[in-house]
Amino acid sequence: MMAATVRIPTPLRRVTAGKDAVSVSGVTLAENLTDLETQYPGIKARIIDGTGELHRFVNIYLNGEDVRFLQGMQTAIKDGDEISIVPAVAGGAA
């Protein structure tokens, strides 16, 4: 299995015991997120919706590229890749 690093955003670090990066393995993004859930139960529900797709308010980047513009949950993950979970930020001018 391939090992990748997942960068954990601050709001999710309470699930990962404060860790800002964790190691996961799998061939696809979906498999890597399943491994992440195995290590840190409850985290996947904060990232994936009931249909198995990314919540619309969560972005995931693979080596800086939005996975929605790659193959989504079926995006291939290679050894040494970096997966970044980024909560969408909304706001406007005050």
* Low-confidence residues of the chain: pLDDT under 50: none
d(CA 77, CA 30): 10
Domain spanning 3-87: CATH superfamily? Beta-grasp domain (3.10.20.30)
> What are 11-35's pLDDT values in tens digits?
999 999 999 999 999 999 999 999 9
Helix, strand, coil fractions of the chain, as percent rounded to 5: 25, 30, 45
Local structure of 78: helix, strand or coil = coil
Q: According to the model, what pLDDT value does residue 94 have?
A: 56
Q: Please answer whether residues 87 and 58 qualify as being in contact, where contact means their C-beta atoms are separated by less than 8 angstroms.
A: yes
- pTM comes to 0.89
Look at residue 1 in the predicted model and tell me its pLDDT. 55
Would you list the domain boundaries of the chain? 3-87
The confidence score (pLDDT) of residue 56 equals 87
The pLDDT value given to residue 43: 95
pLDDT at 91: 58
